[in-house]
């Protein structure tokens, strides 16, 4: 599924997990088939991978990836997340996931990769909630309580002055050790953000 949102002259696309992606691979909009297992995994530093017409930029966890793809023309950006979904999701207990957040900074016209994300999952109640903190003079995102169905989750998101957000994502890896997802705002694509993290 891809939704196209326009922010001034910049097209920001949202790519849900799955699609043509494989277990360890992702296919970019310019048809680069990238084996993510060949690149540095884990850690708190983003990776950059050149593609035929752009670059893939983000955080490569052990079982998932989240970030964005940018076309060389500077006009098209696509948020991305993918991974190996957890098959046996815990049925009880709680978990906290802490990680980073990535978006296209419409002010500085570059990737913003130093956001902070935290997601709370209640496996017994099948609910998720959390927050994304964006540094500088930018609005933080609240991930209101949403629903966990299998390994996937979704819910409502907001910032001060804007309640039009939705978020989606999934749990990845053995024993749901990682998460990755994205949040989008129907009336302001400059707020759209990819996020992820590891279980604490």
pLDDT by residue (tens digit) across 73-98?
Answer: 888 889 999 999 999 999 999 999 99
Strand order in the sheet with 10-15: 2-7, 10-15, 76-83, 64-71, 54-60, 47-51
Could you tell me the pLDDT band of residue 21, with boundaries at 50, 70 and 90? low
Give pLDDT, residue 52: 95
Non-local (6+) Cβ contacts of 109 within 8 A are: 74
Give pLDDT, residue 75: 81
Asked if 191 and 79 count as a contact pair (C-beta separation under 8 A), the reply is no
Whether residue 134 is predicted with pLDDT greater than 50 in this model: the reply is yes
Rounded distance between C-alpha atoms, residue 144 and residue 32, angstroms? 35
Asked if 186 and 164 count as a contact pair (C-beta separation under 8 A), the reply is yes
pTM flag (> 0.85): yes
């Amino acid at each position: 599924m891809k939704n196209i949102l326009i922010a001034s002259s910049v097209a920001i696309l949202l790519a849900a997990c799955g699609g043509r992606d494989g277990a360890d691979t992702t296919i970019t909009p310019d048809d680069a088939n990238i084996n993510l297992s060949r690149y540095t995994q884990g850690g708190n530093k983003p990776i950059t991978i050149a593609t035929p017409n752009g670059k893939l930029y983000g955080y490569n966890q052990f079982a998932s990836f989240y970030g964005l793809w940018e076309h060389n023309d500077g006009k098209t950006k696509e948020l991305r997340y993918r991974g190996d979904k957890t098959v046996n999701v815990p049925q009880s207990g709680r978990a906290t996931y802490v990680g980073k957040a990535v978006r296209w900074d419409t002010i500085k016209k570059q990737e913003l990769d130093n956001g902070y994300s935290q997601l709370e999952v209640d496996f017994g109640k099948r609910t998720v909630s959390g927050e994304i903190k964006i540094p500088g003079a930018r609005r933080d995102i609240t991930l209101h309580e949403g629903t966990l169905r299998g390994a996937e989750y979704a819910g409502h998101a907001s910032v001060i002055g804007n309640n039009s957000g939705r978020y989606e994502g999934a749990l990845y890896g053995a024993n749901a050790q990682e998460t990755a997802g994205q949040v989008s705002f129907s009336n302001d694509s400059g707020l759209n953000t990819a996020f992820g993290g590891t279980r604490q």
